[in-house]
Structure 1
Amino acid sequence: MKTSNPVLSRLGQAAERERSAGYSPAGPYGPAAGQPGYGQPYPTAEGYPAAPPAVQPMTIDDVVVKTVALLGITGLSAVAAWNLVPDSLLGVAWIGAAVVGLVLGFIISFSRMANPALVVAYAVVEGAFVGLVSKTYQEIMGFEGIVLQAVIATFGVFFVMAMLYRVKAIRATPKFRRGMIAVMGGLFAVMLINFVLALFGVTTGLRSNGTVGIIFSLVCIVVASLSFILSFNEVEEGVRLGLPQRYSWTAAFGILVSLIWLYIEMLRLLSFLQGDD
């Protein structure tokens, strides 16, 4: 099992060791034709059904279901935060949610084991963050309808990138992967430095309404959009390598992170554009 992603390769090797003897990896929607289990029930012993294999491989359907579930949790958390947190605490609350979400994100990303509980907790915390930021833009700053516009734009970009990946217009080659990791790491470092400087009253213009701010937001939107290609590739490779079903949570987490990042950047860019009216 070879892949350009060394992490997935190691996980695939671990999954191979975990699988019970004689059990073959499934295709995207279940066991592939010609493999054990295709079109047949589990073997029986003395008239009683045998237990299913100890390790079920993830499928594309698993990832889709987990992603939809996480989006639902994020949405419910956002609505709750929007309605329950008083306006006087919006700033403190969304900064706190952002910090907690960042910590959870790092733990999930660098953990070698899939942890559904942590992924769900991340969705709840990030949902609160998204809800509070959205309320700040729409109700406090007065950008009417900006939330709906950002949601439509975000999912529009998501489906366009999914289509481009499906027709192989953009592929996650090793060079593409290395470049994306470098660019995303650089953007994160720049945003972190900018945040720290802002705490001390230093304004760089990267997050302000102006030419620099708009260009930086556009760059972030492009990179966030391309990050979906990495997520789609990880799902495809995970299915091909027969990773255990629990890793569908990790794959769904990657898609959720990109969606939230893209949404926040869309929200910011739309506020800049509306502010010019």
Structure 2
Amino acid sequence: MKSSNPVLGKAFNQPRNMQVDQLEQSYNAPAASSMRTGRMTIEDVVAKTGFLFAILVVVGAFAWRSNLGTGALMLGFLGGFVLAMVISFSKSIKPGLVVAYAAFQGLALGTLSSYYESYYPGIVSQAVIGTMAAFAGVLIMYRNGTLRATPQFTRALIGAAIGYFILGLVSLVASFFGVGQGYGFYGVSGLGLLLAVAGVAIASLFLVLDFDQIQKGVNNGVPEKESWRASFGLMVTIVWLYLEVLRLISILRNNR
């Protein structure tokens, strides 16, 4: 029976031998890469994310060994924040800015991690393992469908994040006035622990939104250059998660 669809008709009505030959050629052909298609692939995002984290680690190791002070810490965080705003609101992605962002974050994290390590020996390795475990766990749950970036999930997560940052600001201000005993970045002992747990949970779940956006970008065939933006977004969330894990462990160890 011939198909009424003119496009399908040409394919379905070809001689069987011709169809078999074309299928064999298709299966034997090498997989199309971003170099051939000009479109973003998962491999692009993985490669660029690995490259950015390599820069972060190299700069972070330098900052760690150099025992840099508060000035380097502020420079790293402020420089990273400014670049993050520029990258986030820019219509066209600039890879150089993304690489510079990774370097600034390396400066900040290397300095901060060295500070924490001096007070809590072994905490950095614990935070790295905790961050990797959270990332792997969320990735597995996303891949098997346990976690999905539905509209309801997205609205609830963003609402929780807004509430988290508001409570964090209130806690920080309260600590300046000596209300409670400060732990980690935010003050007030009980609230500080609650915020730390919430921070780890919210940062981990934000990975679901990152994975979903990356998958949508690949499915929609966005330009290969957008893989830099995807890698940048993934790095922002992972850095945030690391900071939250680091703070949570410091609070737990401080309470011993």
TM-score tier (shorter): 0.7 to 0.9
Measure, in 1, the Cα distance between the counterparts of 2:248 and 2:242. Answer: 10
Measure, in 2, the Cα distance between the counterparts of 1:83 and 1:251. Answer: 31
Aligned equivalent of 1:242? 221
Identity between Structure 1 and Structure 2 (%): 36
Tell me how large the CA RMSD over aligned residues is.
2.5
Per-residue deviation at 1:212?
1.2
- CA distance change for structure 1 residues 187 and 100 in 2, over 3 Å: closer, same or farther? farther
Per-residue deviation at 1:192?
5.2
Letter in 2 for 1:252: S
Per-residue deviation at 1:228?
0.4
Aligned equivalent of 2:164? 187
Aligned equivalent of 2:16? none
Measure, in 2, the Cα distance between the counterparts of 1:188 and 1:100. Answer: 21
Aligned equivalent of 1:233? 212
Per-residue deviation at 1:109?
1.4
CA contact (8 A) 1:209 1:272 kept: no
Aligned equivalent of 1:64? 46
Q: List gaps (5 residues or longer) in structure 2.
A: 1-21
Please state if 1:269 is matched with 2:252: no
Per-residue deviation at 1:173?
0.8
Measure, in 1, the Cα distance between the counterparts of 2:51 and 2:156. Answer: 31
CA contact (8 A) 1:221 1:265 kept: yes
Per-residue deviation at 1:255?
1.1
Q: Output aligned runs, 1:214-233, within 5 Å.
A: 214-233=193-212
Which secondary structure does the structure 1 equivalent of 2:224 belong to? coil
Which one scores higher on RCO, CA 8 angstroms, separation ≥ 6?
1
Aligned equivalent of 2:176? 201
Letter in 2 for 1:130: L
Per-residue deviation at 1:174?
1.6
Measure, in 1, the Cα distance between the counterparts of 2:89 and 2:227. Answer: 16
Pick the structure with greater CA Rg.
Answer: 2
Which secondary structure does the structure 2 equivalent of 1:58 belong to? coil
Deviations 1:37-74 (A, max 9, x none): 88558xxxxxxxxxx76x60000010110111111111
Aligned equivalent of 1:49? none
Per-residue deviation at 1:95?
2.1
Deviation larger for 177-186 or 267-276 = 177-186
TM-score by length of 1: 0.74
Shift >3 Å, 4+ stretches: 37-41, 185-195, 200-206
Please state if 1:177 is matched with 2:154: yes
Deviations 1:147-173 (A, max 9, x none): 000000000000000000000001001
Per-residue deviation at 1:101?
1.0
Letter in 2 for 1:154: T
Letter in 2 for 1:98: F
Per-residue deviation at 1:276?
1.5
Please state if 1:129 is matched with 2:108: yes
Per-residue deviation at 1:190?
4.7
Letter in 1 for 2:91: R
CA contact (8 A) 1:57 1:243 kept: yes
